[in-house]
């Protein structure tokens, strides 16, 4: 859905395919990392945990304080 699909063909011995494939892709990613004008992006989601990251809960006012404010208004 997002990104670039690279398809690469190369010759190697069948017994070496997995190892050579991993080395090959690692080399490609390393070379991409050397280019300042290339960034690899991917969809992200951030979860916000209000109890851990949010503000402290509001303090409940004493009933007397609440009544005093009502009377003064």
pLDDT single digits (tens) 10-22: 899 999 888 899 9
pTM listed for this prediction: 0.46
> Residue 23's pLDDT is what?
92
Q: Per-residue DSSP letters for 17-72?
A: HHHHHHHHHHHHHHHHHH-TT------------HHHHSPPPPPPPPHHHHHHHHHH
- Nearest CA-CA partner of 40 in 27, 51, 29, 54: 29
- Nearest CA-CA partner of 24 in 8, 47, 40: 8
């Amino acid at each position: 859905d997002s990104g670039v699909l690279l398809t690469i063909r190369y010759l190697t011995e069948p017994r070496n395919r997995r190892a050579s494939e991993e080395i090959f892709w690692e080399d490609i990613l390393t070379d991409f990392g050397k280019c300042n004008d290339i960034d690899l992006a991917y969809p992200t989601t951030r979860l916000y945990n209000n109890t851990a990251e949010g503000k402290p809960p509001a303090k409940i006012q004493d009933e007397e304080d609440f009544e005093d404010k009502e009377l003064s208004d």
